[in-house]
């Protein structure tokens, strides 16, 4: 362990060409990356064991993994899907109405 680990340093980068790119690094073990070209991509890493990745192009994809035993995967194309494993520690339930505009599976000719 370096002495630098205990120093409260914060690194954040923001770029907005057609979206937003922000990178934050904290000695405590927090890394968050966000990219917004036509959607949103955010990746977070925590030393305590929290990893969350989200990608939004035409919808949203969020994946989270915690050593405490929390894994959630969500995809939002035209709706919202969440698959929590074990238990959910943080209750971040947004009451968004699920869109049922998903295209029906095409029948093979």
Helix (H) or strand (E) holding 62: strand 60-66
What pTM, to 2 d.p., does this model score? 0.19
Asked whether the predicted pLDDT for residue 19 surpasses 50, the reply is: no
pLDDT per position as a tens digit, 75-106: 434 344 444 444 444 445 555 555 555 555 66
Phi, psi for residue 60 in degrees, rounded to 5: -150, 140
Look at residue 72 and tell me if it is in a domain. yes
Of 1 and 106, more confident: 106
According to DSSP, the β-strands at 81-86 and 11-15 are unpaired
User: What's the domain range around 24?
Assistant: 3-86
pLDDT of residue 101: 53
Number of domains in the chain: 1
66 within a domain of the structure (yes/no):
yes
């Amino acid at each position: 362990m370096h002495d630098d680990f205990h120093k409260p340093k914060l690194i954040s980068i923001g770029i907005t060409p057609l979206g937003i790119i922000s990178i934050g690094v904290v000695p405590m073990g927090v890394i968050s990356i966000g990219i917004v070209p036509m959607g949103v991509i955010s990746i977070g890493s925590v030393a305590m064991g929290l990893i969350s990745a989200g990608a939004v192009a035409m919808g949203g994809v969020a994946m989270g993994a915690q050593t405490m035993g929390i894994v959630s995967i969500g995809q939002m194309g035209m709706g919202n899907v969440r698959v929590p494993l074990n238990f959910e520690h943080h209750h971040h339930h947004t009451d968004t109405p699920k869109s049922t505009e998903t295209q029906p599976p095409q029948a093979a000719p």
